[in-house]
């Protein structure tokens, strides 16, 4: 498949962008100007002022001699970049690869996209009509190289130019040298020698061109003809797993959104199955005709390529997609994918669940109740109980050590031990009773002590002597005494967990 690029030139980008932001300027005669050596130099003009002979580069004083009631607006140097970035993100509905071409253009990599609009001519016309509806004047060209498309958009004779693959050279021959994005000094030198079009010098000996005009001219020629690659810097990285579905008519119903989502999921999952992968995160985007983009996202605990399961996750959030005046393009991308496993259901080292239905259940719970509702913990290599476990990153993460099962551990462990008042014989007898949050607990059974030393390589502190105790109601607790017993100093006791 041959490469196809679209260059979009906005000759009135700044003025039309200001009108879009401030609609009251639509019927006004205005210019945009910036101070330069004590004078106000015009940087952009509206269409009405241009028709009266005012142009960019003229001083405001000279412009007022032609248009007396002209309105002067302050220039914003960052505005062209902001406008192009916003328009570039809007154009992602036509291709995933869009790059800005400062100061007044965009470049789209349309390779493999035009058939979705019924051909190259229909593709380019659709872009132009939509941009005109947004209030922008454009000149658009499609060619097999970025250089040729850009040259034809800015210096061609038509509003829309579609150059067939391989016809870039004859298409650019009548254009002036400036169309190749040459330095001003090189362009002036070519014109002084009477080389007023690209066709006058493109077939000259390369050694002559290099000697007289430098390597820059040769590089631009090579890029325009496709002999040298010209990489694009897209506004956002292109997801390798991305599916697009344009709509012949704008979609405004939930049923239409569901049908589009099911088609995209089916297509994407077919690709994932062929490559032995499953998605862990998916983003569904709906591009509306008014330029707004609605999106919802889901995540899975295990890599999944089951369209039915994924649709159920999305189905919980479809109401968040507001179709507004209508949706003209749907996108489904998977920014995070992983290899699928033959036995995805193995969660722990020692048996457990061997059924993907568990992961699907967790996905549905997460999608309905929130991403922080499900947690999995693994043992960690620490002695102190509150440091002896960590949260797992996924269901498939394997522990580096085993759970300790030679000593009893509470079902519920407090993150921060809570101080309690204790009456206990000394030096190593368990408590007789303890008071926690104002409630007195009389101890009927006790076991201990279990000494756990402080981790001196992490933080300083005294050892702990733990006891498992049971009160008169049958409730069991995990208490510990901090440090050694001292006859003239009361010991500090803490409650650290509940067994039931």
User: What are 225's two structure tokens?
Assistant: 């003809």
How many whole angstroms separate alpha carbon 482 and alpha carbon 79? 64
- Reported as half-sphere exposure (CB side, CA atoms, 13 A), residue 236 has a value of 14
Q: Mind listing the pLDDT tens digit for each residue in 236-285? A: 776 688 898 988 889 999 999 999 999 999 999 999 988 888 999 999 99
What is the pLDDT confidence band of residue 375, given thresholds at 50, 70 and 90?
confident
Which residue is associated with the tokens 């010098």?
201
- Write down the pLDDT at residue 418: 92
How many whole angstroms separate alpha carbon 231 and alpha carbon 316? 41
**Does residue 477 register a pLDDT over 70?**
yes
How many whole angstroms separate alpha carbon 320 and alpha carbon 297? 11
User: What are 142's two structure tokens?
Assistant: 């499609």
CA 382 vs CA 243, 400, 439, 449, 454: distances in Å: 46, 12, 33, 19, 10
- Write down the pLDDT at residue 160: 93
Q: Mind listing the pLDDT tens digit for each residue in 72-111? A: 999 888 999 999 999 998 998 898 899 999 999 999 999 9
DSSP at 337: E
**Cα dihedral sign for 158, 159, 162, 163?**
positive
**Does residue 50 register a pLDDT over 50?**
yes
**Does residue 197 register a pLDDT over 90?**
yes
How many whole angstroms separate alpha carbon 234 and alpha carbon 292? 20
**Cα dihedral sign for 119, 125, 128, 131?**
negative
How many whole angstroms separate alpha carbon 72 and alpha carbon 74? 7
- Write down the pLDDT at residue 373: 74
Please state, as a whole number, how many other Cβ atoms lie within 10 Å of the Cβ of residue 109: 19
Which residue is associated with the tokens 């020629």?
221
How many whole angstroms separate alpha carbon 399 and alpha carbon 402? 7
Question: What backbone phi and psi angles, to 5 degrees, belong to 192?
Answer: -65, -30
What is the pLDDT confidence band of residue 354, given thresholds at 50, 70 and 90?
very low
What kind and span of H or E run contains 6? strand 5-9
| CA neighbor of 326 nearest in space, from 433, 248, 388 | 248
Burial string for 22-60 (b: 16+ CB within 10 Å, else e) reads eeebeeebbbbbeeeeeebebbbbbebbbeeebeeebeb
Which residue is associated with the tokens 């709906």?
286
How many whole angstroms separate alpha carbon 177 and alpha carbon 59? 28
| CA neighbor of 429 nearest in space, from 449, 451, 450 | 449
Query: What Rg, from alpha-carbon coordinates, does the chain have?
Result: 35
Q: Mind listing the pLDDT tens digit for each residue in 294-344? A: 999 999 888 888 898 999 999 989 999 999 999 988 999 998 888 876 444
**Does residue 372 register a pLDDT over 90?**
no
**Cα torsion at 460, 461, 467, 471 (round to 10°)?**
-120
Which residue is associated with the tokens 């061997």?
354
**Does residue 361 register a pLDDT over 90?**
no
E runs forming strands in 201-292:
242-251, 277-288
User: What are 149's two structure tokens?
Assistant: 């498309």
Please, which residues bridge with residue 422 across strands? 434
DSSP at 171: H
- Write down the pLDDT at residue 1: 59
């Amino acid at each position: 498949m041959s490469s196809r690029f679209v260059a979009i030139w906005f000759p009135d980008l700044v003025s039309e962008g200001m009108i879009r932001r401030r609609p009251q300027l639509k019927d006004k005669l205005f210019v945009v100007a910036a101070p330069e050596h004590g004078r106000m130099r015009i940087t952009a003009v509206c269409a009405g002022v241009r028709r009266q002979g005012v142009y960019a580069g003229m001083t405001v004083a000279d412009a007022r001699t032609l248009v007396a009631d002209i309105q002067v607006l302050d220039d914003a140097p960052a505005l062209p970049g902001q406008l192009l970035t916003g328009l570039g993100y809007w154009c992602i509905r036509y291709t995933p690869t869009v790059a800005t071409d400062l100061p007044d253009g965009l470049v789209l990599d349309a390779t493999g996209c035009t058939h979705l609009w019924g051909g190259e001519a229909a593709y380019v016309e659709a872009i132009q009509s939509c941009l005109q509806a947004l209030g922008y004047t454009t000149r658009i060209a499609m060619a097999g190289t970025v250089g040729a498309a850009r040259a034809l958009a800015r210096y061609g004779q038509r509003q829309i130019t579609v150059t067939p693959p391989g016809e870039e050279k004859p298409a650019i021959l009548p254009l002036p040298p400036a169309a190749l994005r040459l330095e001003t000094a090189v362009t002036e030198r070519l014109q002084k020698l009477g080389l007023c079009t690209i066709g006058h010098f493109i077939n000259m000996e390369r050694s002559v061109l290099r000697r007289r005009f430098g390597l820059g001219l040769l590089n631009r020629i090579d890029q325009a003809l496709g002999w040298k690659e010209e990489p694009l810097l897209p506004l956002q990285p292109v997801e390798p797993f991305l599916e697009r579905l344009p709509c012949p008519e704008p979609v405004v119903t939930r049923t239409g959104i569901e049908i589009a989502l099911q088609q995209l999921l089916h297509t994407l999952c077919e690709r994932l199955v062929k490559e032995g992968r499953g998605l862990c995160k998916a983003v569904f985007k709906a591009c509306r005709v008014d330029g707004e983009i609605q999106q919802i996202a889901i995540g899975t605990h295990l890599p999944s390529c089951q369209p039915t399961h994924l649709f159920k996750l999305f189905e919980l959030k479809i109401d968040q997609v507001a179709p507004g005046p209508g949706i003209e393009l749907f996108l489904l991308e998977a920014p995070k994918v992983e290899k699928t496993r033959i036995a995805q259901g193995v969660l722990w080292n020692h048996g457990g669940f061997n059924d993907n239905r568990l992961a699907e259940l967790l996905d549905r719970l997460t999608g309905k109740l929130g991403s922080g509702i499900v947690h999995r913990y693994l043992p960690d290599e620490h002695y102190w109980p509150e440091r002896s476990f960590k949260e797992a990153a996924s269901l498939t993460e394997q522990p580096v050590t085993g759970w300790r099962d030679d000593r009893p551990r509470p079902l519920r462990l407090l993150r921060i031990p809570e101080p309690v008042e204790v009456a206990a014989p000394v030096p190593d007898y368990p408590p007789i009773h303890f008071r926690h949050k104002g409630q007195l607990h009389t101890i009927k059974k006790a076991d201990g002590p279990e000494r756990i030393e402080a981790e001196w390589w992490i933080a300083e502190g005294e050892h702990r002597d733990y006891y498992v105790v049971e009160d008169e109601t049958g409730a069991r607790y995990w208490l510990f005494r901090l440090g050694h017993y001292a006859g003239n100093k009361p010991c500090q006791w803490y409650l650290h967990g509940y067994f039931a």
